Amino acid sequence: MHTRRLMRWRDRLSIATLLALLMLLVAPVASARVDVVVLPERGITTDLKQRAGVLPVTPALDPDPSRLMGLGGFSVFDPALDASAGRMLLSLQVQADEVDGSHVLRVPRRFFQQFDIFILTPDGELRTASLSLGDVRGAQRVGREFAVPFPARVGEPTRIVMLVETAQGSLRPVQLSIQDAEGFARRASGTTLVLGLVFGILLGLVFHNLMLYLSLRRRGHLLYVVAMLSLLLVLGIDSGLLQDHVLPEALLPHEPRIYVLLVASLLVTASLFFQVFVDSPRHLPRLDPWIGRLRWPLAVLGLVQLVLPATYFVAAAVGVQALSSLMLLLLLWAAALASHRGIFEGKVFLLAWSLLVASNLARTLLTLDLIEGSWLIEHLFYIGAVLEAAILAMGLSFRVRELRHGHDEALRKHSAARQLANIDPLTGAYNRRFLEHHLDALVAGKPGAGSSPGMVMIDLDDFKHINDTHGHVAGDEVLRELVRRCQQVLREDDVLCRLGGDEFVVVLRDSREADAVEVARRLHEKITRAPFVVDGCVVEVSASVGVVPRLEGAKSGGDPVEVLRWADAALYRAKGLGRNCIAVYGGDDMPGASPPTVR
Ligand SMILES: Nc1nc2c(ncn2[C@@H]2O[C@H](COP(=O)(O)OP(=O)(O)OP(=O)(O)O)[C@@H](O)[C@H]2O)c(=O)[nH]1
């Protein structure tokens, strides 16, 4: 019994000793976390929040920097504070590793309302910086960050005290880090380069599509322009470029509201673009109305939050974020469905937006300290945005090219059909219908119809006899050969028409009087000089020709049929003169009739 009690005491003692040893091990770790942070000469030191001392702010706190510097009572930063810290003081002691150097404290610029920083250098100099919306002092804006410079000495800690008031009541997304000044400057110029490229490309794409809209008037291009401008402005606020260079000073305090409005506008215009680009009313008739239904509350809340009192703003901003995420999910789902059904535009939209969402997700994970940071991941969102804009622009261009191709094809078919309606199927010459339109155009003086044209009318002599002797098929061949021979004499813009049977009319373009008669002579010669050979048989062919050298009278007179009557009269005269000759129309009594030309 006695021995058992002794054993129990021994057990108790050993457990206590073990605990004491453990306490000894843990205690230095815990105190080290509020101890001096040693900065390497080069590179980034992150997770500073976890290594800072913390003191909740009471109403009695005197924000006088010199008093704050003297404050004690900071406790180890409790990660639980991440979720609940509204106002607090953070305290850090930093010193250089082996070589003295200039460093910058990096603070993200979007997640807080007020960040007052006091730095007490080893020389006793007190530096202050104020980072709040619309009021930035003692800090440089670089991309999505503020940079506060300070010197770091070996063995002589610099004390940094930060008075923090977060907008969302949590320090969770605030990642504090310190980097050597030189490395930071290099990084800043890299960021400037990326942002310059991103904004240049995006503006180029927007401008290109604006031009396309102005020339083609297709709604898809206009919606692309508006959606991508919204994205551009979202990136502008996100990267700080808008606040630094575009937004007037007076608007800076309203940056969160403007940002929320831009996010709502981006999703509203993206949904409109989706409906037009993918033609969702046709391809996704059940899902499409939901896109429209979700758009209204998003648009209304996006606008209403602009005028809501500050107390309701956070709730409204969360509402817009939630509706935007819902809209994004709906659009991605719809795009996936369209893509599954083989719709090209669905695939393009899905690919483009997935890239943007994935790149944004990577950055969110980075902000929440869930993945390792790298230059690429930090800039991925901008690269994703450019890729998205470029893919959508290519999709639009491809669609326009396809539509244009279809349009050209339709035009080609249409003109072929028109051509057929105007062509004599036997000979390939124009038909009477075309001749009438052509003469109408001439009389009306339409552009392209030419000026001062003459007319030649040709009629084969005794064609009935040819038909009777050699057969109708041979007669057809004679008509075809006649057209071939005439075309060898005529210019490209002269118009050869078959009036019917064996009667043809040529409307000459821009002929002078002598030209029309000369063309008639050459036509007559071409028809009559060499015999026609049809199926090995020689067919004797001759033709009578009537010429109207100038149609100007008809142009001012306004009756195209009148011209045909003149040509017919001249032809009739040629037939009357014994056939196989040319007669020229020269007025009522036809004084210009030429002597018969007989072979
Ligand atoms: N082979 C063939 N013959 C046709 C065609 N259309 C009309 N004809 C014939 O062409 C002949 C036209 O004769 P007409 O113009 O009246 O007189 P012609 O025999 O030429 O005598 P003139 O004109 O007085 O010298 C008719 O016999 C028609 O049957 C056709 O498409 N093919």
Q: Is the CB of 472 under 6 A from ligand 1?
A: yes
Question: Strands 53-56, 75-76: parallel, antiparallel or unpaired by DSSP?
Answer: antiparallel
Contact (Cβ atoms closer than 8 angstroms) between residue 126 and residue 69:
yes
Ligand 1 centroid to 508 CA: how many Å?
25
Distance CA 34, CA 77 (A): 8
Contact (Cβ atoms closer than 8 angstroms) between residue 88 and residue 54:
yes
Q: Is the CB of 477 under 6 A from ligand 1?
A: no
Distance CA 349, CA 513 (A): 67
Q: Is the CB of 459 under 6 A from ligand 1?
A: yes
Q: Is the CB of 475 under 6 A from ligand 1?
A: yes
Q: Residue 2 — pLDDT band, cuts 50, 70, 90?
A: low
**Residue bearing the bigger pLDDT, 29 or 219:** 219
Distance CA 160, CA 152 (A): 11
Distance CA 119, CA 148 (A): 9
In this structure, the residue with its CA closest to atom 32 of ligand 1 is: 476
Contact (Cβ atoms closer than 8 angstroms) between residue 117 and residue 138:
yes
Q: Residue 35 — pLDDT band, cuts 50, 70, 90?
A: confident
Domain at 432-584, CATH homologous superfamily: Reverse transcriptase/Diguanylate cyclase domain (3.30.70.270)
**Considering only 35-49, 168-182, 456-470, which range has the smallest mean pLDDT?**
168-182
Ligand 1 atom showing the smallest separation from residue 473 Cα: 1
pLDDT at 597: 37
Q: Does this chain's domain 36-186 share its CATH topology with 432-584?
A: no
Helix (H, G, I), strand (E, B) or coil at 500: strand
pLDDT at 410: 84
In this structure, the residue with its CA closest to atom 27 of ligand 1 is: 464
Q: Is the CB of 140 under 6 A from ligand 1?
A: no
Pick the CATH number of 36-186 from 1.10.3210, 2.60.40, 3.40.47, 1.10.287: 2.60.40
Ligand 1 centroid to 346 CA: how many Å?
64
Contact (Cβ atoms closer than 8 angstroms) between residue 164 and residue 112:
yes
Amino acid in the structure at residue 157: P
Long-range contacts of 512-518 (CB under 8 A, 24+ apart): 512/452, 512/549, 513/454, 513/549, 513/550, 514/549, 515/454, 516/454, 516/455, 516/456, 516/547, 516/548, 516/549, 516/550, 517/547, 517/549, 517/582, 517/584, 517/594
**Considering only 136-140, 319-323, 325-329, 352-356, which range has the smallest mean pLDDT?**
136-140
Domain segments of the chain as ranges: 1-32, 36-186, 218-405, 432-584
Work out the mean pLDDT of the chain and round it to a whole number: 85
Q: pTM of the predicted model, to two decimals?
A: 0.58
Contact (Cβ atoms closer than 8 angstroms) between residue 520 and residue 547:
yes
Q: For the segment 122-132, what is each residue's pLDDT rounded down to a tens digit?
A: 888 899 999 88
Q: Is the CB of 464 under 6 A from ligand 1?
A: yes
